[in-house]
Amino acid sequence: PNGEVFSLDAGPIDFTKEEMGNVRFMVGDAAQLLKDLPENCIDAIYVNFCDPWSKKGHTKRRLTYIEFLKMYSRILVKGGTFNFKTDNRPLFDFSLEEVEKSPFELLYHTFDLHNSDMNENNIQTEYERNFSAKGFTINMLIAKNNK
């Protein structure tokens, strides 16, 4: 009945299932987790600072590859959103191209989140703070599921 989430800043945070509300954390292989979820069960998906799989031949492992986007579309409700942030510009450019081929409609994108109109409501991740401190700009996109 109780859950525990680890915060790198504050250590473990304990909360009850009731306090957790409708948020769930899942750990495992993304492709398998996506296959196991029922259709139209998620309102939003957030992919933040994932592995860019930069080596040649690893494109299909990227979490923004068209096959992953199709799986996200299946589990997202109609109108649900796919939200993506990365410091890796080649990955972001690839992701924009994949979204164009997918069931998603690109609602918003920026190549410099922290100097955009979306920064006011942005919740920074630890990776985001670290990359920004090193001078990297943060890319972000929001896409709506149209299936």
d(CA 104, CA 59): 19
CB atoms within 10 A of CB 42: 20
d(CA 136, CA 99): 23
Tell me the pairing of strands 76-86 and 11-16: unpaired
Catalytic pick among 51, 87, 93, 117: 51
Q: Are 131 and 87 in contact (CB under 8 A)?
A: yes
d(CA 39, CA 76): 7
d(CA 76, CA 40): 5
Q: Is 117 a catalytic residue?
A: no
Residues annotated catalytic, as ranges: 51
